[in-house]
A and B are shown apart, each in its own frame.
Chain A
Amino acid sequence: MNQSFKAPIVHIHNLSKSYFRETLEIPVLQGLDLDIPSGGFYALMGPSGSGKTTLLNLIAGIDRPSGGVLEVCGSNLNQLDDDELASWRNQNVGFIFQNYNLIPVLNAFENVELPLLLTPLTRTQRKEKVEEALTLVNLMDRLENYPRQLSGGQEQRVAIARAIVGNPMLLVADEPTGALDAKNADEVLAMMQKLNEEFGKTILVVTHDPKAANFARHQVHLEKGVLDKTVEVNR
């Protein structure tokens, strides 16, 4: 609990989310309370259908809650309109996906550069930052390669570089190792750990893989849309 004295980067109170299938309301999250302190490394766990991805999407600001308080990185997301939310995401959140989701027609450099295109940075400044990010994931020799020329592990590392290039406070990852073999998965997870420990990034990972979850410092278990328990991982 050494970081618990810091202000929470995610503050959630009584959060709920429902989907509508035709007229039928399907509740996914119900009355959820959760605070994540800045610099935390949290794993969201639970069986499929438990609402863990929905929670992640809400925190990352790509989905809207049906009710409740949702404050992330100092902003009340309910008060932002779609465009404000988009630019909020650009500044505050980095995304890592299961399928990497790199743009196939862009090379590694261009993929990492994408979020920076939305900033007022100059071309040279962008280049500097991209190279910094790619150095961090050890892919400086792959600048010119296109996604299909990279291995899965390399692709995910490019995706990580893309997530951190804008220097966001929060990194969200949905099953980041789901498509990787054990060796690459470890590598990616170690990298995320490093980002958490050395760079102080707050990281939120959705996973059903207990081994991946063990890289986190806290594990949040969800069950049928409600918080089941939070466990601190001892290492």
Chain B
Amino acid sequence: MKFINLIFKSLMRSKRRTFLILGTLVLSVFLITILQSLLATLDSVSNQSTEGNRFIVRHKSGLTQFLPISYGDYLRQQPEVIAVANSQWFGGYYQDPKNFFANFANDHTTMFTVFSDTVAGMTDAEIKEYQRDGTGCIVGQILADKFGWKVGDTIPLTGTIFPISPRLTIRGIFKARLASDENTLYFHYKLLEESVPFMKGKTGAFWVKTKTPEDLPRLSNRIDNHFANSPEETLSETENAFYLTFVKMLGNIGAIIHGVTIAVIIAITIVTIGTMSMAFKERTTEIAVLRAMGFSASRVLFLLMGEGLLLVTLGGALGIGLASLVAKILREVLGSALMFLQDFRLANETILICMGLTLAIGLISTIIPAIVATRKSIVEGLRAL
């Protein structure tokens, strides 16, 4: 490591150039990190490690079609089923349409069994209180913090899909593992059903909890076959498959992100090759002097590569650092545009991949100019000045 001083000082030879290329590197790595994290976040939506023994039964024709609540009776009769909760996306907002968050009308009793993992942290007393109050609701911690809500507050929820705007009393605040799960409000299904005439006896979906995950494929087939010839056909799918349909809806966003990432990698590689060859060419004589002094060609190559790798490591670390600094801001900006991005974060794997990519860029873009620089003969190099 006695050469580190030499490597570092060589890198800082032209401070302006080094800072400009460093800036380019930082920005590129920053961009790649953010984009890949975005993709990873979207992927994780449909790849959650949920309990695996929960699935959804919805209308085959689409998310906006309703199923008869009576279908629930059949579901509950199945021996594998532990609990069934009917659920309807309410799509309401609080005070201003911009204050968007997920809100559902859910069965007020079974939901605590079905969603025991994503609606957690409430005391039994709170749950009882919520179940007692037909106009009660429960909200996630993040949501409560955002609007400063406390247990006991009454909040108006303006309906957009349904012609009602209920006033709901908060009876409990729950916690979840994911931010998007905590950004949610639930109220009694009965309230929706009783106050919206066309919802009488209907529901958007059933969430079903089974005894073991192994029950799922057979059970969902049986259910879909059972309703296959009724006017309202069902589609049973796992939670992840269900979310996947949402992510797939974003269309080619993955292709766009990968395209941009590749373009950025190519661009930054080209730019780094250009800059490093510029830097090495300037030092042709110096390199010859070092070799005359007894530095072997491979040693000089090692020093030059060290310089390039130091540069990209610095650029990569700063870029990723910058990305993690703005991740929070981005989470809010993007989260308001797209619900799933409320869970936006830099995953460790993404950081590792991006750092690996950066190092690979550094390696490829330094090795070419470094080989060119060291292949020149010493005599030629000394004459270069």
Contact = CB atoms under 8 A, between A and B. Distances in A.
A–B contact at 8 Å CB threshold (below): yes
Interface of A: 57, 60, 62-63, 82-83, 86-91, 93, 95, 97, 99, 101, 103-106, 110, 114-115, 117-118, 123, 162, 166
Nearest to A81: B296
A101 B286 CA distance: 7
B372 interface: no
Contacts of B9: 105-106, 110
Interface of B: 2-3, 5-6, 9-10, 12-13, 285-286, 288-299, 377-379, 382, 385
Contact of A105 (B2, B10, B296, B298): B10
Contact of B379 (A62, A88, A93): A62
Which of A83, A88, A97, A105 lies at the interface centre, i.e. has the most chain B CB atoms within 10 A of its CB?
A105
A58 to B, nearest CB: 10
13 contacts: A60-B292, A62-B291, A63-B379, A82-B296, A86-B296, A87-B296, A89-B294, A91-B294, A93-B294, A97-B382, A101-B286, A103-B286, A105-B10
A90 B13 contact: no
B289 A83 contact: no
A62 B289 CA distance: 10
A206 to B, nearest CB: 12
Mostly, the A contact residues are helix
Contacts of B12: 105
A60 B290 CA distance: 14
A168 B294 CA distance: 12
Closest 10 CB pairs of A and B: A90-B294, A86-B296, A62-B378, A105-B9, A101-B289, A89-B294, A83-B296, A115-B293, A63-B379, A105-B13
Nearest to B5: A110
Nearest to A159: B289
Contact of B13 (A62, A95, A104): A104
B289 to A, nearest CB: 4
A124 to B, nearest CB: 13
Which of B12, B13, B285, B379 lies at the interface centre, i.e. has the most chain A CB atoms within 10 A of its CB?
B379
Contacts of B289: 95, 97, 101, 103
B107 to A, nearest CB: 72
A180 B25 CA distance: 43
A82 B292 CA distance: 11
Contacts of A90: 293-295
B15 to A, nearest CB: 10
Contacts of B293: 89-90, 95, 114-115, 118, 162
Contact of A86 (B13, B288, B294): B294
Contacts of B288: 62
A95 B6 contact: no
A145 B92 CA distance: 72
A106 B294 contact: no
Contacts of A60: 292
Contacts of A87: 294, 296
B2 A117 contact: yes
B381 to A, nearest CB: 9
B220 to A, nearest CB: 69
Contacts of A83: 296-298
Contacts of B3: 117
A49 to B, nearest CB: 14
A103 B298 CA distance: 19
